[in-house]
Amino acid sequence: MKKKVDAIIKWLQKQVEQSKTKGLVVGVSGGLDSAVIAFLIKRAFPENTISVIMPIKSNPVDIEHAKETNKTCGIKELTIDLTEIHEQMFNQIKQQIAVDFNEDNARLADANLRARLRMSTLYTVATNYNYLVVGTDNAAEWYTGYFTKYGDGGVDLLPIVDLTKEEVREMATYLGVPKAVIDKEPSADLWEGQTDEKEMGTTYERIDAFLRGETIPEKDRNLIEKMHVRTEHKRSIPTQFHFNE
Ligand X SMILES: Nc1ncnc2c1ncn2[C@@H]1O[C@H](COP(=O)(O)OP(=O)(O)OP(=O)(O)O)[C@@H](O)[C@H]1O
Ligand Y SMILES: Nc1ncnc2c1ncn2[C@@H]1O[C@H](COP(=O)(O)OP(=O)(O)OC[C@H]2O[C@@H]([n+]3cccc(C(=O)O)c3)[C@H](O)[C@@H]2O)[C@@H](O)[C@H]1O
User: Residues forming the annotated binding site?
Assistant: 27-34, 116, 136, 141, 149, 156, 165, 187, 233-234
Q: Which does 55 bind (CB under 5 to 8 A by kind): ligand Y, ligand X, Mg ion, none?
A: ligand X
**Please, which residue, 16 or 133, has the CB nearer to ligand Y?**
133
Which sign, positive or negative, has the C-alpha torsion 216, 217, 223, 225? positive
Instruction: Determine, following the binding rule CB under 5 A, whether residue 31 of this chain makes contact with Mg ion.
Output: yes
Other beta carbons within 10 Å of 93:
13
Given a contact cutoff of 8 angstroms between Cβ atoms, the answer to whether 63 and 53 are in contact is: yes
Q: Which of 159, 209, 168, 211 is nearest to 186 (CA)?
A: 168
Residue nearest to ligand Y (CB): 188
Q: Which does 82 bind (CB under 5 to 8 A by kind): Mg ion, ligand Y, ligand X, none?
A: none
Q: Which does 28 bind (CB under 5 to 8 A by kind): ligand X, ligand Y, Mg ion, none?
A: ligand X
Q: How far is the CB of 151 from ligand X (least distance, A)?
A: 8
Give residue 24's Cα distance to chain centre.
15
Using CB under 5 A as the criterion, what x/- string covers residues 186-225 for binding Mg ion? -x--------------------------------------
State the burial class of residue 23 (Cβ atoms within 10 Å of its Cβ: 0-12, 13-18, 19+): buried
Q: What DSSP string describes 80-93? A: ---HHHHHHHHHHH
**Please, which residue, 28 or 175, has the CB nearer to ligand X?**
28
CA distance linking residue 87 with residue 110, whole number of Å: 9
Instruction: Determine, following the binding rule CB under 6 A, whether residue 108 of this chain makes contact with ligand Y.
Output: yes
**Please, which residue, 215 or 239, has the CB nearer to ligand Y?**
239
Q: How far is the CB of 55 from ligand X (least distance, A)?
A: 5
Instruction: Determine, following the binding rule CB under 6 A, whether residue 168 of this chain makes contact with ligand Y.
Output: no
- In degrees rounded to 5, what are phi and psi of residue 25? -130, 145
Residue nearest to ligand X (CB): 31
Give residue 140's Cα distance to chain centre.
12
Instruction: Determine, following the binding rule CB under 5 A, whether residue 154 of this chain makes contact with Mg ion.
Output: no
Given a contact cutoff of 8 angstroms between Cβ atoms, the answer to whether 69 and 30 are in contact is: yes
Residues belonging to the binding site for ATP are 27-34, 136, 165, 187
Contacts (CB under 6 A) with ligand Y, residues 129-158: 141, 146-149, 151-152
First-to-last C-alpha distance (Å) of the chain: 47
Residues engaged in binding ligand Y (CB under 6 A): 108, 111-112, 115, 141, 146-149, 151-152, 188, 190, 196, 199, 233-234
